[in-house]
């Protein structure tokens, strides 16, 4: 599944439409965020996670979505299940994000 660019306008709707969601919060100035983007795209194409929606949210331009996950640093990843926040962490480690994805089921 491709990564979906999300904003405050569609964030709640996307959480409601998808039972399992992982969100990458980023900022345009964040170098670690840019470096992680290809990894996040690759994960979204992995058949193991075909039932998970992958969202990209610009933390500076979407304050409501940022607040929903308690973003305190970037890049920040959050897992939502049935619209509820399950886990959120600031990390640039691919292994940690994969672990979050494996725990979503």
Furthest CA-CA distance within the chain = 33
9-65 pLDDT tens trace: 999 999 999 999 999 999 999 999 999 999 999 999 999 999 999 999 999 999 999
CATH at 11: 3.40.30.10
89: β partners = 77
Predicted local distance difference test score (pLDDT) of residue 1: 76
What is the C-alpha separation between 86 and 78, in angstroms, rounded? 8
85: β partners = 80
Q: How many structural domains does the chain have?
A: 1
Predicted local distance difference test score (pLDDT) of residue 37: 96
Structural domain boundaries enclosing 64: 4-91+98-102
What is the C-alpha separation between 92 and 25, in angstroms, rounded? 11
What is the C-alpha separation between 1 and 12, in angstroms, rounded? 19
Of 16, 13, 91, the residue nearest 101 (C-alpha): 91
């Amino acid at each position: 599944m491709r990564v979906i660019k999300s904003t405050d306008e569609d964030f709640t709707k996307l959480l409601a439409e998808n039972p399992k969601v992982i969100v990458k919060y980023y900022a345009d100035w964040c170098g670690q965020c840019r470096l992680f983007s290809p990894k996040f795209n690759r994960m979204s194409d992995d058949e193991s996670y075909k039932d998970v929606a992958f969202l990209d949210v610009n933390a500076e331009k979407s304050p409501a979505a940022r607040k929903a996950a308690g973003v305190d640093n970037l890049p920040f990843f959050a897992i939502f299940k049935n619209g509820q926040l399950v886990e959120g962490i600031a990390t640039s480690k691919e292994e940690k994000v994969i672990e979050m994805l494996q725990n979503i089921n």
